[in-house]
Amino acid sequence: MEIQSGVKDAILVVSLQGMLDASNADPVEEEIVSIDLLPLKGVIIDLSGLTYMSSSGIRVLIKIRRHLKNANIRFAISSLQPFVHEILDLADLLNSFEIYPDIADARAAFTT
């Protein structure tokens, strides 16, 4: 699992690449949660590079969602591949996240 992140216009974009499962869910979550949130107005998690996500991936998204909600920071996920969409649908969570087709759409939603 590779994590790339960058901040532009006070929006943090975190791109996850590779497999997200029980074996790496905790370090991924820790890395994202440890990011300094103070200067941010929004966080976008880009899932376009995911090759696999197990239910542990949902746990990561849920924890981040709660973490950012407590800090009053907007949170979106973008570029869901069919299998991620399916897993979130199965857990009935599609309506519980802000979901956008790509990073640009998510950015646009954050800035309007």
Partner 1 sequence: MHDQIVPAGVELFQLTSVIILVSYFISRTSVYYRVVFQQGSLKDKLLLILFFGALSIYGTMSGFSLFGAQANVRDLGPIIAGLTCGPLVGLGAGIIGVLYRVSLGGITMIPCCLATLLSALIAGFVWWYHKKRFIGTLPAVILVLILELVHVWLVSLLTPDTPGLDEILWTMGTSGMALNCIGMFCFSVVFHNYLLEKKTGEELKRRNTELEIAFQIQESILPSHFPDIQGFQVTAYSKPAREVGGDFYDFIQFEKNECGFLIADVSGKSIPAAIFMGLSCMTIRAAAEWVRHPGKAVSLANNLIYKYVESGMFFSLFYGILDAETGNVRYCNAGHPPPVLVRKDGGIQLLTKTGKIIGFEKDEVYHDETVMLNVGDLLFCYTDGVSESTNKEGDMYGMPRISRVLAEVREQATEEVVSSILSDISQFIGKSPQSDDITVLMIKRTEL
Q: Which residues would be at the binding site for partner 1 (CB under 8 A)?
A: 21-23, 29, 51-52, 54-56, 58-59, 62-63, 66, 90-93, 96
DSSP 96: G
Q: Which is nearer to partner 1, 52 or 101 (CB)?
A: 52
Residue 54: CB minimum distance to partner 1, A: 7
> How far is 91 from 55, CA to CA, in rounded Å?
9
Q: Which is nearer to partner 1, 21 or 105 (CB)?
A: 21
> How far is 12 from 67, CA to CA, in rounded Å?
14
Q: Which is nearer to partner 1, 4 or 66 (CB)?
A: 66
- On whether the CB atoms of residues 38 and 6 are closer than 8 A, the answer is no
